[in-house]
Amino acid sequence: MKTLKRLASYYKPYLDIFIFDMICAIAISVIDLSYPLILNYCTRHLFIGEKSLIIKLLPIVLVILLIMYIIRALCRYYVSAQGHIMGAMMERDMRADLFDQYQRLSFSYYDTHNTGVMMSRVISDLFDISEFAHHGPENLFISFIKIVGSFFILSMIHLPLALILLLVTIVMAVFSFSQNKRMRRTFDDNRRRIGDVNATVLDSLSGIRIVQSFTNEDYEKEKFKHSNDAFLDSKRDNYHAMGFFQAGNGFFLGLLYITLIGAGGYFVINNTIDPISLATFALYINIFVAPIEVLVEFTEMLQKGLSGFRRFEEIIDEQPDVVESPDAKPLTDVKGHICFNQVTFTYDHASKVLDQVDIDIPAGDKIAVVGPSGSGKTTLCSLIPRFYDVTQGAITIDGHDVRDVTLKSLRQTIGLVSQDVYLFNASIYDNIAYGNLDATDEEIIEAAKKAYIHDDIMSFPDGYQTLCGERGTRLSGGQKQRIAIARVFLKNPSILILDEATSALDNESERIVQKGLEDLSVGRTCVMIAHRLSTIKNADHIIVIDNEGIKQQGTHDELMAKGGLYKDYYNLQFRQ
Protein backbone atom coordinates (compact mmCIF):
# COMPACT_ATOMS: atom_id res chain seq x y z
CA MET A 1 0.00 0.00 0.00
CA LYS A 2 2.87 2.36 0.77
CA THR A 3 4.32 1.73 -2.68
CA LEU A 4 0.98 2.30 -4.42
CA LYS A 5 0.34 5.43 -2.35
CA ARG A 6 3.70 6.89 -3.32
CA LEU A 7 3.11 5.97 -6.96
CA ALA A 8 -0.28 7.70 -6.82
CA SER A 9 1.40 10.92 -5.64
CA TYR A 10 3.08 11.23 -9.05
CA TYR A 11 -0.34 11.51 -10.69
CA LYS A 12 -1.22 14.71 -8.79
CA PRO A 13 0.50 17.24 -11.12
CA TYR A 14 -1.33 15.66 -14.07
CA LEU A 15 -4.71 15.09 -12.42
CA ASP A 16 -6.62 16.92 -15.20
CA ILE A 17 -5.00 14.72 -17.86
CA PHE A 18 -5.63 11.62 -15.76
CA ILE A 19 -9.32 12.44 -15.16
CA PHE A 20 -9.98 13.15 -18.83
CA ASP A 21 -8.08 9.96 -19.70
CA MET A 22 -10.47 8.02 -17.44
CA ILE A 23 -13.50 9.78 -19.00
CA CYS A 24 -12.26 8.69 -22.42
CA ALA A 25 -11.79 5.18 -21.05
CA ILE A 26 -15.41 5.17 -19.85
CA ALA A 27 -16.61 6.34 -23.28
CA ILE A 28 -14.64 3.57 -25.02
CA SER A 29 -16.04 0.95 -22.65
CA VAL A 30 -19.65 2.14 -22.96
CA ILE A 31 -19.44 2.18 -26.77
CA ASP A 32 -17.94 -1.33 -26.83
CA LEU A 33 -20.73 -2.56 -24.54
CA SER A 34 -23.42 -0.85 -26.66
CA TYR A 35 -22.68 -2.50 -30.00
CA PRO A 36 -24.01 -6.01 -29.16
CA LEU A 37 -27.16 -4.43 -27.71
CA ILE A 38 -27.71 -2.44 -30.91
CA LEU A 39 -27.04 -5.55 -33.00
CA ASN A 40 -29.47 -7.54 -30.84
CA TYR A 41 -32.13 -4.82 -31.35
CA CYS A 42 -31.63 -4.89 -35.10
CA THR A 43 -31.75 -8.70 -35.23
CA ARG A 44 -34.82 -9.08 -33.02
CA HIS A 45 -36.86 -6.08 -34.10
CA LEU A 46 -35.58 -3.95 -36.95
CA PHE A 47 -34.53 -6.57 -39.51
CA ILE A 48 -37.74 -8.62 -39.11
CA GLY A 49 -40.03 -5.58 -39.43
CA GLU A 50 -41.58 -3.92 -42.43
CA LYS A 51 -39.24 -2.97 -45.28
CA SER A 52 -40.35 0.65 -45.03
CA LEU A 53 -39.47 0.68 -41.33
CA ILE A 54 -36.02 -0.73 -42.08
CA ILE A 55 -35.44 1.94 -44.75
CA LYS A 56 -36.54 4.64 -42.30
CA LEU A 57 -34.66 3.50 -39.16
CA LEU A 58 -31.49 1.86 -40.55
CA PRO A 59 -29.86 5.18 -41.62
CA ILE A 60 -30.54 6.56 -38.12
CA VAL A 61 -28.91 3.49 -36.54
CA LEU A 62 -25.93 3.82 -38.90
CA VAL A 63 -25.50 7.54 -38.10
CA ILE A 64 -25.66 6.77 -34.38
CA LEU A 65 -23.04 4.04 -34.81
CA LEU A 66 -20.85 6.36 -36.92
CA ILE A 67 -21.01 9.10 -34.26
CA MET A 68 -20.25 6.52 -31.56
CA TYR A 69 -17.15 5.25 -33.36
CA ILE A 70 -15.92 8.75 -34.20
CA ILE A 71 -16.14 9.55 -30.49
CA ARG A 72 -14.42 6.24 -29.73
CA ALA A 73 -11.61 7.04 -32.20
CA LEU A 74 -11.04 10.48 -30.64
CA CYS A 75 -11.06 9.00 -27.15
CA ARG A 76 -8.65 6.24 -28.21
CA TYR A 77 -6.34 8.87 -29.71
CA TYR A 78 -6.32 10.85 -26.45
CA VAL A 79 -5.75 7.75 -24.36
CA SER A 80 -2.95 6.50 -26.63
CA ALA A 81 -1.20 9.85 -27.16
CA GLN A 82 -1.79 12.13 -24.19
CA GLY A 83 -2.04 9.22 -21.79
CA HIS A 84 1.39 7.96 -22.85
CA ILE A 85 2.79 11.48 -22.60
CA MET A 86 1.47 11.67 -19.04
CA GLY A 87 3.26 8.40 -18.25
CA ALA A 88 6.49 9.74 -19.77
CA MET A 89 6.21 12.95 -17.70
CA MET A 90 5.71 10.90 -14.54
CA GLU A 91 8.78 8.84 -15.43
CA ARG A 92 10.72 12.08 -15.92
CA ASP A 93 9.60 13.32 -12.49
CA MET A 94 10.65 10.08 -10.83
CA ARG A 95 14.02 10.16 -12.56
CA ALA A 96 14.50 13.78 -11.44
CA ASP A 97 13.62 12.84 -7.84
CA LEU A 98 16.05 9.94 -7.99
CA PHE A 99 18.82 12.16 -9.33
CA ASP A 100 18.08 14.78 -6.65
CA GLN A 101 18.32 12.07 -4.00
CA TYR A 102 21.68 10.96 -5.38
CA GLN A 103 22.85 14.56 -5.01
CA ARG A 104 21.76 14.55 -1.35
CA LEU A 105 23.28 11.24 -0.32
CA SER A 106 26.49 11.35 1.68
CA PHE A 107 29.94 10.12 0.72
CA SER A 108 29.40 7.04 2.90
CA TYR A 109 26.65 5.86 0.54
CA TYR A 110 28.93 6.13 -2.49
CA ASP A 111 31.67 4.33 -0.58
CA THR A 112 29.50 1.21 -0.44
CA HIS A 113 27.43 1.30 -3.65
CA ASN A 114 28.40 0.60 -7.23
CA THR A 115 28.00 3.38 -9.78
CA GLY A 116 26.77 1.00 -12.47
CA VAL A 117 23.98 -0.27 -10.23
CA MET A 118 23.00 3.31 -9.39
CA MET A 119 22.87 4.19 -13.10
CA SER A 120 20.71 1.13 -13.70
CA ARG A 121 18.18 2.46 -11.22
CA VAL A 122 18.08 5.84 -12.96
CA ILE A 123 17.67 4.37 -16.44
CA SER A 124 16.61 0.70 -16.64
CA ASP A 125 14.48 0.43 -13.51
CA LEU A 126 12.25 3.34 -14.50
CA PHE A 127 11.95 2.26 -18.13
CA ASP A 128 8.74 0.25 -17.67
CA ILE A 129 7.15 2.68 -15.22
CA SER A 130 6.03 5.03 -17.99
CA GLU A 131 3.92 2.31 -19.64
CA PHE A 132 2.67 1.02 -16.32
CA ALA A 133 1.77 4.49 -15.01
CA HIS A 134 -0.35 5.17 -18.07
CA HIS A 135 -1.82 1.75 -18.88
CA GLY A 136 -2.21 0.61 -15.28
CA PRO A 137 -5.20 2.72 -14.16
CA GLU A 138 -6.61 2.85 -17.70
CA ASN A 139 -6.55 -0.92 -18.20
CA LEU A 140 -7.93 -1.57 -14.74
CA PHE A 141 -10.70 0.98 -15.24
CA ILE A 142 -11.73 -0.15 -18.74
CA SER A 143 -11.50 -3.81 -17.77
CA PHE A 144 -13.57 -3.27 -14.63
CA ILE A 145 -16.32 -1.46 -16.55
CA LYS A 146 -16.37 -4.03 -19.34
CA ILE A 147 -16.30 -7.06 -17.05
CA VAL A 148 -18.96 -5.71 -14.68
CA GLY A 149 -21.08 -4.27 -17.51
CA SER A 150 -20.91 -7.37 -19.69
CA PHE A 151 -21.58 -9.70 -16.74
CA PHE A 152 -24.62 -7.63 -15.81
CA ILE A 153 -25.95 -7.90 -19.36
CA LEU A 154 -25.07 -11.62 -19.47
CA SER A 155 -27.02 -12.08 -16.25
CA MET A 156 -30.01 -10.27 -17.78
CA ILE A 157 -29.87 -12.57 -20.82
CA HIS A 158 -29.47 -15.83 -18.87
CA LEU A 159 -28.43 -15.84 -15.19
CA PRO A 160 -27.58 -19.58 -14.76
CA LEU A 161 -25.21 -19.55 -17.75
CA ALA A 162 -23.62 -16.31 -16.51
CA LEU A 163 -23.01 -17.83 -13.06
CA ILE A 164 -21.37 -20.92 -14.57
CA LEU A 165 -19.02 -18.68 -16.55
CA LEU A 166 -18.33 -16.64 -13.40
CA LEU A 167 -17.26 -19.82 -11.59
CA VAL A 168 -14.69 -20.58 -14.31
CA THR A 169 -13.47 -16.97 -14.11
CA ILE A 170 -12.99 -17.22 -10.33
CA VAL A 171 -10.88 -20.37 -10.74
CA MET A 172 -8.85 -18.49 -13.36
CA ALA A 173 -8.36 -15.54 -10.97
CA VAL A 174 -7.08 -17.86 -8.21
CA PHE A 175 -4.59 -19.40 -10.64
CA SER A 176 -3.43 -15.93 -11.79
CA PHE A 177 -2.94 -14.73 -8.22
CA SER A 178 -0.82 -17.74 -7.28
CA GLN A 179 1.39 -17.39 -10.37
CA ASN A 180 1.66 -13.65 -9.86
CA LYS A 181 3.89 -14.13 -6.80
CA ARG A 182 6.33 -16.25 -8.79
CA MET A 183 6.49 -13.65 -11.57
CA ARG A 184 7.16 -10.90 -9.04
CA ARG A 185 10.21 -12.74 -7.69
CA THR A 186 11.63 -13.27 -11.18
CA PHE A 187 11.13 -9.61 -12.19
CA ASP A 188 12.85 -8.42 -9.00
CA ASP A 189 15.76 -10.75 -9.79
CA ASN A 190 15.87 -9.39 -13.36
CA ARG A 191 16.36 -5.87 -12.02
CA ARG A 192 19.23 -6.93 -9.79
CA ARG A 193 20.92 -8.88 -12.57
CA ILE A 194 20.76 -6.09 -15.14
CA GLY A 195 22.20 -3.79 -12.47
CA ASP A 196 25.14 -6.20 -12.15
CA VAL A 197 25.60 -6.17 -15.94
CA ASN A 198 25.64 -2.37 -16.00
CA ALA A 199 28.10 -2.30 -13.11
CA THR A 200 30.46 -4.71 -14.89
CA VAL A 201 30.34 -2.73 -18.14
CA LEU A 202 30.92 0.61 -16.41
CA ASP A 203 33.78 -0.76 -14.33
CA SER A 204 35.51 -2.30 -17.33
CA LEU A 205 35.07 0.70 -19.64
CA SER A 206 36.13 3.20 -16.97
CA GLY A 207 39.34 1.22 -16.47
CA ILE A 208 39.91 0.37 -20.14
CA ARG A 209 43.45 1.77 -20.09
CA ILE A 210 44.37 -0.49 -17.19
CA VAL A 211 42.64 -3.44 -18.84
CA GLN A 212 44.56 -3.02 -22.07
CA SER A 213 47.87 -2.16 -20.44
CA PHE A 214 47.74 -5.44 -18.48
CA THR A 215 46.32 -7.30 -21.52
CA ASN A 216 43.46 -8.56 -19.38
CA GLU A 217 40.77 -8.27 -22.04
CA ASP A 218 39.98 -11.99 -21.79
CA TYR A 219 39.58 -11.71 -18.03
CA GLU A 220 37.17 -8.78 -18.45
CA LYS A 221 35.25 -10.73 -21.09
CA GLU A 222 34.92 -13.61 -18.64
CA LYS A 223 33.68 -11.25 -15.91
CA PHE A 224 31.13 -9.81 -18.28
CA LYS A 225 30.13 -13.28 -19.48
CA HIS A 226 29.46 -14.30 -15.88
CA SER A 227 27.11 -11.38 -15.17
CA ASN A 228 25.58 -11.54 -18.66
CA ASP A 229 24.86 -15.28 -18.32
CA ALA A 230 23.43 -14.72 -14.83
CA PHE A 231 21.05 -12.17 -16.33
CA LEU A 232 20.10 -14.69 -19.04
CA ASP A 233 19.39 -17.33 -16.38
CA SER A 234 17.21 -14.82 -14.54
CA LYS A 235 15.37 -13.95 -17.77
CA ARG A 236 14.96 -17.66 -18.52
CA ASP A 237 13.30 -18.22 -15.13
CA ASN A 238 11.20 -15.16 -15.77
CA TYR A 239 10.01 -16.35 -19.16
CA HIS A 240 9.24 -19.83 -17.81
CA ALA A 241 7.04 -18.19 -15.17
CA MET A 242 5.44 -15.90 -17.77
CA GLY A 243 4.90 -18.80 -20.17
CA PHE A 244 3.17 -20.92 -17.53
CA PHE A 245 1.14 -17.91 -16.43
CA GLN A 246 -0.03 -17.01 -19.93
CA ALA A 247 -0.56 -20.62 -21.02
CA GLY A 248 -2.64 -21.33 -17.92
CA ASN A 249 -4.77 -18.24 -18.41
CA GLY A 250 -5.12 -19.04 -22.09
CA PHE A 251 -6.44 -22.48 -21.14
CA PHE A 252 -9.01 -20.95 -18.78
CA LEU A 253 -10.11 -18.51 -21.51
CA GLY A 254 -10.63 -21.45 -23.81
CA LEU A 255 -12.51 -23.19 -21.02
CA LEU A 256 -14.93 -20.24 -20.98
CA TYR A 257 -15.76 -20.83 -24.65
CA ILE A 258 -16.09 -24.56 -24.10
CA THR A 259 -18.41 -23.89 -21.16
CA LEU A 260 -20.45 -21.47 -23.30
CA ILE A 261 -20.99 -24.09 -26.03
CA GLY A 262 -21.60 -26.98 -23.62
CA ALA A 263 -23.84 -25.22 -21.10
CA GLY A 264 -25.42 -23.03 -23.78
CA GLY A 265 -26.30 -26.07 -25.87
CA TYR A 266 -27.80 -27.72 -22.80
CA PHE A 267 -29.98 -24.66 -22.07
CA VAL A 268 -31.05 -24.41 -25.75
CA ILE A 269 -32.10 -28.10 -25.67
CA ASN A 270 -34.12 -27.37 -22.54
CA ASN A 271 -35.67 -24.26 -24.15
CA THR A 272 -34.45 -21.91 -21.39
CA ILE A 273 -32.55 -19.78 -23.92
CA ASP A 274 -33.18 -19.22 -27.63
CA PRO A 275 -30.43 -19.33 -30.29
CA ILE A 276 -30.53 -15.57 -30.93
CA SER A 277 -30.07 -14.84 -27.22
CA LEU A 278 -27.24 -17.37 -27.13
CA ALA A 279 -25.60 -15.60 -30.10
CA THR A 280 -25.92 -12.27 -28.27
CA PHE A 281 -24.54 -14.00 -25.18
CA ALA A 282 -21.55 -15.14 -27.25
CA LEU A 283 -20.92 -11.57 -28.40
CA TYR A 284 -20.81 -10.42 -24.79
CA ILE A 285 -18.56 -13.32 -23.91
CA ASN A 286 -16.01 -11.73 -26.26
CA ILE A 287 -16.43 -8.41 -24.45
CA PHE A 288 -16.19 -10.24 -21.11
CA VAL A 289 -13.10 -12.22 -22.13
CA ALA A 290 -11.18 -9.39 -23.87
CA PRO A 291 -10.59 -7.34 -20.68
CA ILE A 292 -9.58 -10.52 -18.87
CA GLU A 293 -6.90 -11.05 -21.52
CA VAL A 294 -5.88 -7.41 -21.07
CA LEU A 295 -5.61 -7.96 -17.32
CA VAL A 296 -3.48 -11.05 -17.90
CA GLU A 297 -1.07 -8.97 -20.00
CA PHE A 298 -1.37 -6.11 -17.52
CA THR A 299 -0.16 -8.40 -14.73
CA GLU A 300 3.19 -8.72 -16.50
CA MET A 301 3.37 -4.94 -16.96
CA LEU A 302 2.36 -4.46 -13.31
CA GLN A 303 5.16 -6.67 -12.03
CA LYS A 304 7.75 -5.00 -14.25
CA GLY A 305 6.60 -1.53 -13.23
CA LEU A 306 6.30 -2.26 -9.51
CA SER A 307 9.63 -4.09 -9.50
CA GLY A 308 11.36 -1.01 -10.91
CA PHE A 309 9.39 1.30 -8.61
CA ARG A 310 10.31 -0.72 -5.50
CA ARG A 311 14.00 -0.37 -6.36
CA PHE A 312 13.35 3.34 -6.95
CA GLU A 313 11.82 3.52 -3.46
CA GLU A 314 14.88 1.90 -1.90
CA ILE A 315 16.97 4.90 -2.97
CA ILE A 316 14.32 7.53 -2.20
CA ASP A 317 13.92 6.11 1.33
CA GLU A 318 17.68 6.11 1.93
CA GLN A 319 18.54 8.63 4.63
CA PRO A 320 21.76 10.65 4.12
CA ASP A 321 24.27 10.29 6.94
CA VAL A 322 24.98 14.01 6.75
CA VAL A 323 21.82 16.08 7.18
CA GLU A 324 21.36 19.78 7.66
CA SER A 325 20.01 20.95 11.01
CA PRO A 326 16.48 22.42 10.76
CA ASP A 327 17.68 25.65 12.39
CA ALA A 328 21.02 25.83 10.53
CA LYS A 329 22.29 29.33 9.84
CA PRO A 330 24.40 30.49 6.89
CA LEU A 331 28.12 30.77 7.56
CA THR A 332 29.07 34.36 6.72
CA ASP A 333 32.10 36.64 6.90
CA VAL A 334 34.43 33.65 7.21
CA LYS A 335 37.93 34.27 8.53
CA GLY A 336 38.98 30.61 8.46
CA HIS A 337 39.82 29.74 12.08
CA ILE A 338 39.36 25.94 12.29
CA CYS A 339 39.30 23.92 15.52
CA PHE A 340 39.12 20.14 16.00
CA ASN A 341 37.84 19.51 19.53
CA GLN A 342 38.21 15.92 20.76
CA VAL A 343 37.23 14.63 17.31
CA THR A 344 36.68 10.88 16.95
CA PHE A 345 35.58 9.25 13.71
CA THR A 346 34.72 5.68 12.68
CA TYR A 347 33.34 4.18 9.48
CA ASP A 348 30.23 2.08 10.20
CA HIS A 349 31.08 2.00 13.90
CA ALA A 350 34.12 -0.16 13.18
CA SER A 351 37.68 0.62 14.30
CA LYS A 352 38.47 4.27 14.95
CA VAL A 353 40.12 6.19 12.12
CA LEU A 354 40.58 9.30 14.29
CA ASP A 355 40.57 9.21 18.08
CA GLN A 356 40.10 12.36 20.19
CA VAL A 357 42.00 14.66 17.83
CA ASP A 358 42.64 18.25 18.97
CA ILE A 359 43.91 20.70 16.35
CA ASP A 360 43.78 24.50 16.32
CA ILE A 361 44.34 26.17 12.94
CA PRO A 362 44.46 30.00 13.14
CA ALA A 363 42.86 31.95 10.31
CA GLY A 364 45.23 32.40 7.38
CA ASP A 365 47.71 29.75 8.55
CA LYS A 366 49.08 26.97 6.37
CA ILE A 367 48.86 23.61 8.11
CA ALA A 368 50.39 20.44 6.69
CA VAL A 369 49.28 16.93 7.63
CA VAL A 370 51.71 14.09 6.94
CA GLY A 371 51.68 10.41 7.72
CA PRO A 372 51.49 6.95 6.19
CA SER A 373 48.63 5.79 3.96
CA GLY A 374 45.54 4.81 5.94
CA SER A 375 46.40 7.00 8.92
CA GLY A 376 43.31 9.20 8.42
CA LYS A 377 44.75 12.27 6.68
CA THR A 378 42.10 12.48 3.95
CA THR A 379 39.37 11.57 6.41
CA LEU A 380 40.46 14.40 8.70
CA CYS A 381 40.14 16.91 5.85
CA SER A 382 36.82 15.41 4.65
CA LEU A 383 35.28 16.18 8.03
CA ILE A 384 35.75 19.95 7.60
CA PRO A 385 33.23 20.36 4.72
CA ARG A 386 31.04 17.63 6.31
CA PHE A 387 31.51 15.04 3.62
CA TYR A 388 31.30 12.84 6.71
CA ASP A 389 30.13 13.74 10.21
CA VAL A 390 32.29 13.31 13.28
CA THR A 391 31.37 10.35 15.48
CA GLN A 392 32.27 12.30 18.63
CA GLY A 393 33.56 15.79 19.36
CA ALA A 394 33.13 18.86 17.19
CA ILE A 395 34.74 20.85 14.40
CA THR A 396 34.26 24.61 14.42
CA ILE A 397 34.96 27.36 11.90
CA ASP A 398 35.26 30.81 13.47
CA GLY A 399 33.61 29.34 16.56
CA HIS A 400 30.61 27.90 14.67
CA ASP A 401 30.07 24.13 14.82
CA VAL A 402 29.98 22.96 11.20
CA ARG A 403 26.83 20.95 12.05
CA ASP A 404 25.00 24.16 12.95
CA VAL A 405 25.53 25.96 9.64
CA THR A 406 23.94 25.30 6.24
CA LEU A 407 25.78 22.81 4.07
CA LYS A 408 25.76 25.15 1.08
CA SER A 409 27.35 28.06 2.93
CA LEU A 410 29.87 25.73 4.57
CA ARG A 411 31.01 24.12 1.34
CA GLN A 412 30.99 27.41 -0.56
CA THR A 413 33.66 28.70 1.80
CA ILE A 414 35.95 25.68 1.23
CA GLY A 415 38.00 24.95 -1.89
CA LEU A 416 39.35 21.45 -2.55
CA VAL A 417 42.18 20.39 -4.85
CA SER A 418 42.94 16.69 -4.71
CA GLN A 419 45.34 14.28 -6.32
CA ASP A 420 42.55 12.66 -8.31
CA VAL A 421 41.28 15.59 -10.37
CA TYR A 422 37.84 15.13 -11.89
CA LEU A 423 37.11 17.05 -15.07
CA PHE A 424 33.73 16.81 -16.74
CA ASN A 425 33.43 15.72 -20.37
CA ALA A 426 33.00 19.32 -21.43
CA SER A 427 35.16 22.23 -22.59
CA ILE A 428 38.03 23.66 -20.55
CA TYR A 429 35.97 26.85 -20.26
CA ASP A 430 33.04 24.97 -18.71
CA ASN A 431 35.29 23.06 -16.33
CA ILE A 432 36.89 26.24 -14.99
CA ALA A 433 33.51 28.01 -14.86
CA TYR A 434 32.26 25.21 -12.60
CA GLY A 435 33.95 27.09 -9.76
CA ASN A 436 31.53 29.99 -10.23
CA LEU A 437 28.73 29.52 -12.72
CA ASP A 438 28.06 33.26 -12.79
CA ALA A 439 31.64 34.21 -13.67
CA THR A 440 32.39 36.40 -16.69
CA ASP A 441 34.76 35.45 -19.50
CA GLU A 442 37.33 37.87 -18.11
CA GLU A 443 37.15 36.30 -14.64
CA ILE A 444 37.58 32.80 -16.09
CA ILE A 445 40.61 33.85 -18.12
CA GLU A 446 42.09 35.64 -15.09
CA ALA A 447 41.64 32.47 -12.98
CA ALA A 448 43.40 30.44 -15.69
CA LYS A 449 46.31 32.91 -15.72
CA LYS A 450 46.64 32.69 -11.96
CA ALA A 451 46.80 28.91 -12.26
CA TYR A 452 49.47 29.13 -14.99
CA ILE A 453 47.30 27.22 -17.48
CA HIS A 454 46.24 30.11 -19.81
CA ASP A 455 49.20 29.72 -22.19
CA ASP A 456 48.60 25.96 -22.49
CA ILE A 457 44.95 26.57 -23.25
CA MET A 458 45.71 29.14 -25.93
CA SER A 459 48.09 26.69 -27.60
CA PHE A 460 45.17 24.35 -28.32
CA PRO A 461 43.39 24.88 -31.70
CA ASP A 462 40.03 25.42 -29.95
CA GLY A 463 41.43 27.37 -27.01
CA TYR A 464 39.05 27.50 -24.07
CA GLN A 465 36.47 25.49 -26.04
CA THR A 466 38.81 22.48 -26.20
CA LEU A 467 37.02 19.39 -24.96
CA CYS A 468 38.68 17.77 -21.95
CA GLY A 469 37.41 14.26 -22.71
CA GLU A 470 35.96 11.90 -20.14
CA ARG A 471 37.68 12.59 -16.80
CA GLY A 472 40.08 14.89 -18.68
CA THR A 473 41.73 12.13 -20.72
CA ARG A 474 42.81 14.56 -23.48
CA LEU A 475 44.96 16.58 -21.08
CA SER A 476 48.17 15.86 -19.19
CA GLY A 477 48.18 15.37 -15.44
CA GLY A 478 49.73 18.79 -14.85
CA GLN A 479 47.20 20.50 -17.12
CA LYS A 480 44.28 18.83 -15.37
CA GLN A 481 45.67 19.85 -12.00
CA ARG A 482 46.09 23.48 -13.05
CA ILE A 483 42.53 23.58 -14.45
CA ALA A 484 41.38 22.33 -11.05
CA ILE A 485 43.37 25.11 -9.40
CA ALA A 486 41.84 27.69 -11.76
CA ARG A 487 38.42 26.37 -10.82
CA VAL A 488 39.16 26.99 -7.13
CA PHE A 489 40.63 30.43 -7.89
CA LEU A 490 37.28 31.26 -9.47
CA LYS A 491 35.42 29.97 -6.41
CA ASN A 492 37.57 32.20 -4.18
CA PRO A 493 37.09 30.25 -0.92
CA SER A 494 38.29 31.34 2.52
CA ILE A 495 39.57 27.84 3.35
CA LEU A 496 41.68 25.69 1.06
CA ILE A 497 42.20 21.93 1.32
CA LEU A 498 45.02 20.42 -0.76
CA ASP A 499 44.88 16.63 -0.74
CA GLU A 500 48.23 15.44 -2.13
CA ALA A 501 47.62 17.74 -5.09
CA THR A 502 51.06 17.24 -6.68
CA SER A 503 51.99 13.70 -5.66
CA ALA A 504 51.18 12.17 -9.08
CA LEU A 505 53.09 14.73 -11.17
CA ASP A 506 56.55 14.77 -12.67
CA ASN A 507 59.06 17.28 -11.34
CA GLU A 508 58.50 19.93 -14.02
CA SER A 509 54.69 19.72 -13.74
CA GLU A 510 54.96 19.73 -9.95
CA ARG A 511 57.04 22.92 -10.05
CA ILE A 512 54.43 24.76 -12.13
CA VAL A 513 51.46 23.38 -10.18
CA GLN A 514 53.15 24.12 -6.86
CA LYS A 515 53.60 27.74 -7.90
CA GLY A 516 49.89 27.93 -8.69
CA LEU A 517 49.02 26.37 -5.32
CA GLU A 518 51.24 28.81 -3.47
CA ASP A 519 49.52 31.75 -5.16
CA LEU A 520 46.12 30.17 -4.47
CA SER A 521 46.83 29.74 -0.76
CA VAL A 522 47.78 33.40 -0.18
CA GLY A 523 45.39 34.98 2.32
CA ARG A 524 43.51 31.75 2.96
CA THR A 525 43.54 29.15 5.70
CA CYS A 526 45.22 26.20 4.03
CA VAL A 527 45.20 22.54 5.09
CA MET A 528 47.66 20.48 3.06
CA ILE A 529 47.93 16.70 2.94
CA ALA A 530 51.41 16.03 1.67
CA HIS A 531 53.24 12.99 0.42
CA ARG A 532 56.27 14.92 -0.82
CA LEU A 533 57.67 16.69 2.22
CA SER A 534 59.51 19.21 0.06
CA THR A 535 56.16 20.88 -0.66
CA ILE A 536 55.39 21.65 2.98
CA LYS A 537 58.71 22.91 4.38
CA ASN A 538 57.31 26.44 4.56
CA ALA A 539 54.06 25.47 6.31
CA ASP A 540 53.25 27.40 9.49
CA HIS A 541 52.53 24.15 11.30
CA ILE A 542 53.06 20.48 10.50
CA ILE A 543 51.00 17.69 12.07
CA VAL A 544 52.40 14.15 11.94
CA ILE A 545 49.84 11.37 12.38
CA ASP A 546 49.88 7.60 12.11
CA ASN A 547 47.38 4.84 12.84
CA GLU A 548 47.57 5.64 16.55
CA GLY A 549 46.77 9.35 16.16
CA ILE A 550 48.81 12.59 16.29
CA LYS A 551 52.46 11.85 16.97
CA GLN A 552 54.19 15.20 16.44
CA GLN A 553 53.39 18.86 15.80
CA GLY A 554 55.56 21.87 14.96
CA THR A 555 57.39 23.67 12.16
CA HIS A 556 59.72 21.85 9.78
CA ASP A 557 62.81 23.07 11.61
CA GLU A 558 61.35 22.18 15.03
CA LEU A 559 60.42 18.67 13.95
CA MET A 560 63.81 18.07 12.33
CA ALA A 561 65.51 19.22 15.51
CA LYS A 562 63.35 16.96 17.70
CA GLY A 563 63.91 13.87 15.56
CA GLY A 564 61.34 11.10 15.47
CA LEU A 565 58.77 10.09 12.88
CA TYR A 566 58.85 13.28 10.76
CA LYS A 567 62.62 13.28 10.51
CA ASP A 568 62.54 9.58 9.58
CA TYR A 569 60.11 10.36 6.75
CA TYR A 570 62.19 13.28 5.57
CA ASN A 571 65.47 11.36 5.59
CA LEU A 572 63.80 8.42 3.81
CA GLN A 573 62.64 10.68 0.98
CA PHE A 574 65.87 12.63 0.58
CA ARG A 575 68.23 9.75 1.49
CA GLN A 576 70.14 11.73 4.10
User: How far apart are the C-alpha atoms of 94 and 309, rounded to whole Å?
Assistant: 9
Q: Which residues of 398-432 are buried (b: 16+ CB within 10 A; e: fewer)?
A: bebebbebebeebbbbbbbbbbebebeeebbbbbb
Q: Do residues 94 and 40 make contact, with C-beta atoms less than 8 angstroms apart?
A: no
What's the rounded Cα separation, in Å, for the pair 57 and 64?
11
**H helix runs in 272-346, sequence order:** 275-316
Instruction: Please report, for residues 183, 233, 254, 294, 378, the alpha-carbon distance to residue 172 in angstroms, rounded to integers and kept in the order given.
Output: 16, 28, 11, 14, 62
Q: How far apart are CA 45 and CA 52, in angstroms?
A: 13
Of 535 and 79, the structure prediction assigns the larger pLDDT to 79
For the chain, how long is the longest CA-to-CA vector? 124
Strand partners, 32: none
Please write the tens of the pLDDT for every residue from 124-174: 777 777 777 777 777 777 778 888 888 888 788 888 888 888 888 888 878
**By C-alpha distance, which of 357, 338, 360 is closest to 410?**
338
pLDDT over threshold 90, residue 37:
no
Assess contact for 386 and 561: CB atoms under 8 A: no
Which pTM does this prediction carry? 0.73
Query: Within its chain, how far is the Cα of 361 from the centroid?
Result: 40
Contacts for 403 with CB less than 8 Å, ≥ 6 apart: 325, 386, 389, 394
Average pLDDT over every residue of 436-462: 90
- State which H helix or E strand residue 112 sits in: helix 107-112
> CA–CA separation, 290 vs 355, rounded Å?
69
Kindly state the average pLDDT of the residues 229-246: 81
Confidence check: pLDDT of 53 > 80: no
Question: What confidence tens digit (pLDDT) does each residue in 283-335 have?
Answer: 777 777 777 767 766 776 777 777 778 888 888 888 888 888 889 999 999 99
Question: DSSP states of 118-153 as a string?
Answer: HHHHHTTTTTTHHHHHHHHHHHHHHHHHHHHHHHHH
Separation CA 418–CA 529 (nearest Å): 9
What mean pLDDT is predicted for residues 330-349? 88
On average, the pLDDT of the chain sits at 82
pLDDT band at 74 (very low <50, low <70, confident <90, very high): very high
Q: Mind listing the pLDDT tens digit for each residue in 419-430? A: 778 888 889 999
pLDDT for res 505? 64
Q: Is the pLDDT of residue 2 over 70?
A: yes
- The share of the chain scoring above pLDDT 90, in percent, equals 13
Quick check: 43 pLDDT over 90? no
Instruction: Give yes or no for residue 337 having a pLDDT over 90.
Output: yes
Residue 391 has pLDDT above 80, yes or no: yes
Q: In what order do the strands lie in the sheet with 392-397?
A: 352-361, 338-346, 392-397, 400-401
pLDDT for the residue 31: 87
Q: Which residues pair with 359 in a beta bridge?
A: 340
pLDDT value for 73: 92
- Give residue 207's pLDDT band: very low, low, confident or very high (50, 70, 90): low
- Dihedrals phi, psi of 506, to nearest 5 degrees: -75, 170
* More confident site: 574 or 16: 16
Q: Which pLDDT score is estimated for 51?
A: 77
Domains in the chain, ordered, with CATH? Answer: 89-316 (1.20.1560.10), 338-574 (3.40.50.300)
What is the structure's pLDDT at 464?
92
Checking if the pLDDT of 372 tops 90, the result is no
**Model confidence pLDDT, tens digit, residues 270-295:** 888 877 777 777 777 777 777 776 77
201 pLDDT more than 80 = no
Ranking 17-31, 482-496, 506-520 by mean pLDDT, the lowest is 506-520
pLDDT for res 196: 78
Q: Which amino acid is at 493?
A: P
Q: What is the dihedral of CA 558, 564, 570, 576, to 10 degrees?
A: 100
